[in-house]
Amino acid sequence: MSMHGARGGAKRPALPQFTQMTLVLEAVLVFFATLVAFGLRVAPPVTVWTIGGVTMLVLLLLSGYVGRPGGYVAGSAAQLAVLAFGVLVPMMFVIGGLFVVLWVVSLRLGARIDRERAAYDAAHPGEVPPAA
């Protein structure tokens, strides 16, 4: 069962693509939230940059880990870290909450697309699906 693109190359599954992009975007979000926390002097600079830097690094590392055993669970746990950043920058409770919703949508929609691709491949063996 292979998935083919318009040129015949294998397509990457949608679930890891969606979740990876969500985690990378969250890392960028945390960078900007770290800048805000630093500018507002909500904590000593070393504390702000340590918390922000570790959170960004974890999100980026997890973006490469999704699709492996425990990757999606770890990504889900990372959503709590992004929400916890609201302690330093209260607006992160709102923006982090939006990213939690985006994470859930990425999980559900990516899995749905992959199921539909697999069903199409099973019903049309050896056929190249139409370009979207």
Q: What pLDDT, in 10s, does the model give residues 91-130?
A: 999 999 999 999 999 999 999 999 999 998 889 887 766 6
Nearest 5°: the CA angle 95, 99, 102 is 140
Place of tokens 């949608």: 14
CA dist., res. 117 & res. 11, Å (int)? 10
Q: Please give the pLDDT value at position 66.
A: 93
Cα end-to-end span (Å), the chain: 19
Q: Give the pair of three-digit tokens for residue 78.
A: 């990372």
Give the CA distances from residue 14 to residues 18, 58, 92, 123, in Å, rounded to whole numbers and listed in that order.
6, 22, 27, 19
Q: Please give the pLDDT value at position 3.
A: 47
Q: Please give the pLDDT value at position 129.
A: 63
Question: Lowest-confidence range among 6-10, 39-43, 45-49, 94-98?
Answer: 6-10
- pTM of the shown model: 0.85
Q: Please give the pLDDT value at position 10.
A: 67
Q: Please give the pLDDT value at position 2.
A: 46
